[in-house]
Amino acid sequence: MVAAPWRLRRRGRRGPGRVTTEAALEALEAERARLSLARPNGPLLRPRDAGTLIVVDRTGPVPRLLMGRRSPGHVFMPGHYVFPGGRVDPEDLRLAASFTLPENALARLCAGPPSRFDARRATAVALAAIRETFEETGAMVGATGVPVSLSGHWQSFAARAIRPAPELLVPLARAITPPGPPRRYDTRFFCVDASAMGGVMAGEPPTDELEAVGWFPLDEIGRLTIATITRRVLADLEIRLADDSFLDASRPMPFYRSVRGRFVRDLL
């Protein structure tokens, strides 16, 4: 595994604090209702495709996850600890034509609505998760020494001769932001082992999207300020880590969304 720079500092353990799963859907529904009441007459925004990446360091007794805190000035989830990620941009979609995801991963990603979501868009979402992880934390998920033609936001990878590796990402969950917030995303959550990091940028990350970036022990994250959906996805991750299916893309993934005004959990 690539050694973490000072910026990606490792957090020490301070006792119990495991992420729990009790009343998960009830908590999601309560949050949905609160957001709906906060903006009762707001426009019905169409969710944008987005990818989020959970990088897991399993070299110690407790898995550690790469996270950071969104600044208080952000419109979406200000002050919350989050995994790196963001929406798909045109460069991701263009680059997606050069990559092929494993069939099991595609089956998970393309299941469910909408029907227009195809293999190329699924690959673009995985690439967006990789790109945003670099932009927000400085960590590159890919293979070194492999020449690849990259442009735009991907030039930093090309400069270091790192080929992004979307094929290593394992679909973990999907969630659509309910109506109400000022931003809505149709997010696919991926997980990947930290050994897939082809490099880490020295110094500050390219953007200031996240503060306090670091490796956080899984059994401490429950004490941080995190969104309800983040807590729910962490519970899903814990199950996958416990039964050693963490990197098994054939496992069905949960899909969280609001249907007729109620939060539901399906499997894809």
Measured CA to CA, the distance from residue 220 to residue 98 in angstroms comes to 39
- pLDDT of 237 reads 97
Instruction: Tell me the per-residue pLDDT of 14-57, one tens digit each, with 9 for 90 and over.
Output: 333 333 344 554 454 445 445 554 555 566 788 999 999 999 99
pLDDT tier at 62 (50, 70, 90 boundaries)? very high
196 contacts 168 by C-beta, under 8 angstroms? yes
SS (H, E, C) 4-71: CCCCCEECCCCCCCCCCCCCHHHHHHHHHHHHHHHCCCCCCCCCEEEEEEEEEECCCCCCEEEEEEEC
Query: Tokens 């989020």, residue?
Result: 52
Q: Assess whether pLDDT exceeds 80 at residue 95.
A: yes
The average pLDDT across 152-174 equals 92
Q: Assess whether pLDDT exceeds 70 at residue 190.
A: yes
Q: Assess whether pLDDT exceeds 50 at residue 6.
A: no
Instruction: Tell me the per-residue pLDDT of 207-253, one tens digit each, with 9 for 90 and over.
Output: 777 888 999 999 999 999 999 999 999 999 999 999 999 999 999 99
pLDDT tier at 118 (50, 70, 90 boundaries)? very high
- pLDDT of 1 reads 32
- pLDDT of 77 reads 64
- Please count the residues of the chain: 268
Measured CA to CA, the distance from residue 161 to residue 151 in angstroms comes to 12
**Position 139, amino acid:** A
The sign of the CA dihedral 32, 35, 37, 42 is negative
**Domains by residue range for the chain, with CATH:** 50-267 (3.90.79.10)
